Chains A and B, each alone.
Chain A
């Protein structure tokens, strides 16, 4: 089975802190994604990566950055956390070849910024 793991299920940080959310997948997927999920808004794509050291902005990249130094690991970074970044963060991964872009999701990290 594909497994996508996220470093924390729950995280509480203070405004202005630098926050790292880690995601690891074990299926040798080329693509990895970070979404945030908010009530009534569904999932919104923050950033994605289709290869090591490659990254692309999604729909809401402001206030976030990412890092992909190894194929299996994709990190989301909040340089200076703000209260409006309190949310559920979901990581996903998928194969790159055409015809199969099913995404596999991790369990999520619920981040609270005080």
Chain B
């Protein structure tokens, strides 16, 4: 069965500092990987996705993520965070079929210190 682990429940980062959110997955085939962000009281917004090709993917809002097959990881990074990045971040894994549901991690709550 597929699964996603986000080991950090909460992370606190100073504004302007770099950020890395960890994601490890378990999937039997080549995975499709996603990072979503949820601002307070809102639905989920897609930050970026990996389907194939270049293992470093660029997303919106200055985020990027790197797929490392050997480590079963898909960590999210940003070189300099802004106060508006404070939110809940979810990593998800899915299969090739469009009808397949996604399996989500439990989320990482990002707090930005001034």
Q: Which residues of A contact B (CB under 8 A)?
A: 4, 30-31, 33, 35, 40-45, 48, 50, 58, 90, 92, 94-108
> When chains A and B are docked, how far (Å) is the Cα of A42 from the Cα of B94?
16
Tally B residues with Cβ within 8 Å of A. Answer: 27
> When chains A and B are docked, how far (Å) is the Cα of A86 from the Cα of B100?
26
Which residues of chain B (93-112) have a CB below 8 Å from chain A? 94-107
Determine whether B51 belongs to the interface, using a CB cutoff of 8 Å to chain A. Answer: yes
Interface of A is mostly: loop
Interface of B is mostly: loop
Tell me the nearest residue of chain A to B103, going by C-beta: A45
With contact pairs A40-B9, A42-B104, A101-B32 given, residues A90 and B43 touching in the complex (Cβ less than 8 Å): yes
Query: Are A58 and B44 in contact (CB-based, < 8 A)?
Result: no
With contact pairs A42-B107, A43-B90, A108-B43 given, residues A103 and B102 touching in the complex (Cβ less than 8 Å): yes
